Structure 1
Amino acid sequence: MLIALLLAVATVPAGQMFACTPIRVWDGDGPVWCREGPRIRLGGIAAREIDGSCRRGQPCPRASGIAARDALVRLLGGARGRSGTGHILVTGPRLQCRSTGNAKGDRTGAWCSAPRIGDLSCAMIATGTVLRWQRYAAGHCR
């Protein structure tokens, strides 16, 4: 029933725990498409856009958007191909996530972790390709 509910809503309500099996990635902070339905914007981090730009009002890392995306893809087990829309296809480990609510559009902001990776946002910061976004980090990744 919970899976059906997640598939029926655009975003997972704040505070809700949910599973995500990553199937595709756009850039270094998301969205990450989950087999179960949600599209995740990783919590507490900022990456450059794929075109190399940074959004106004957010931290702007030195690493390119492509480098950040590729780091996330590696953490999720590596690329398995590319979709017709340019997304990188992955067969990632099952993540356990906690929603922080709507992250604009049909994306769910979330903190996610997996046994081999630990906290995915913190692991991304450790790659040096994204920056901790203090405004949203809420004590994570210190």
Structure 2
Amino acid sequence: MSIIAAGLVFLCTPTLVADGDGPVWCAEGPRVRVAGIAARERDNSCRRGHPCPDASGDDAMRALVNLLGGASGRIRFRGAAYDHIRVNAPTMRCLSIGSAGGNRTGAFCTLGDGRNLSCAMLASGTVARWGRYWRDDQRCPRQPR
């Protein structure tokens, strides 16, 4: 696994989801931290200095899994506190913003249906926008109420 350099476009076929803002494990190798958003941790805590949405960490993870096409199973790695969710999702096209720490690439990704994944997660109401990692030219369409 390697970090994709900022500004590069790459493909990601999601296979596993760890929590509501990633990492999303890609069949092609990278682990993607969904850029521009923050979700609660799986234990519902919020990390210091991160935005803290109202929704639970599990709600955010379910929203991300559903946007990627739904769950196809679970796996728990040795020493992990929580399961990772298996997904069989269509390939996404992603734009790297560089390292997101922990051997993850921060990226804005476009789902197979053309929706921006970060915007779709914001529309789900389960994450908060994180201005520190939100590109100035990033725009989300208005969502019907």
- TM-score for the superposition, normalised by structure 1: 0.90
- Residue number in structure 2 paired with 1:54: 46
Among 108, 113, 120, the alignment partner of 1:111 is: 108
Q: Quick one: which of 91, 95, 99 aligns to 2:92?
A: 95
Partner of 2:67: 75
CA distance in structure 1 between the partners assigned to 2:17 and 2:37 by the alignment: 15
Contact 1:125 / 1:131 at 8 angstroms: preserved in 2? yes
Greater helix content: 1
Contact 2:4–2:96 (Cα < 8 Å) also in 1 = yes
Aligned to 1:34, which of 5, 26, 30?
Answer: 26
Q: Which residue of 2 aligns with 1:127?
A: 124
What letter is aligned with 1:82? Answer: R
In the other structure, the counterpart of 2:80 is none
For 1:107, give the aligned amino acid.
Answer: R
Aligned equivalents of 1:79 and 1:97: distance in 2? 21
Residues in 1 aligned to 2:69 and 2:98: alpha-carbon distance in whole angstroms: 26
Give 2:65's aligned amino acid: V
Alpha carbons of 1:116 and 1:98: their partners in 2 closer, same or farther (altered >3 Å)? same
108 and 19 in structure 1: CA distance in 2 versus 1, 3 angstrom threshold: same
Q: What displacement does 1:135 show?
A: 1.4
User: What residue ranges of structure 2 are gaps of 5+ in the alignment?
Assistant: 78-82, 141-145
Secondary structure of 2:108 counterpart: strand
> How far 1:17 sits from its partner (Å)?
0.7
CA distance in 1, matches of 2:74, 2:97: 29
Distance 1:114 1:84 in 2: 26
- Aligned residue for 1:29, secondary structure, equals coil
| AA at the equivalent of 2:109 | C
Provide the aligned length of Structure 1 versus Structure 2: 134
Name the % identity: 57
Other structure's SS at 2:55 match: coil
TM-score (norm 2): 0.89
Runs of 5+ in structure 1 lacking a partner? 1-8
- 1:98 match: secondary structure: strand
Asked whether the 8 Å contact 1:80–1:89 carries over to 2, the reply is: yes
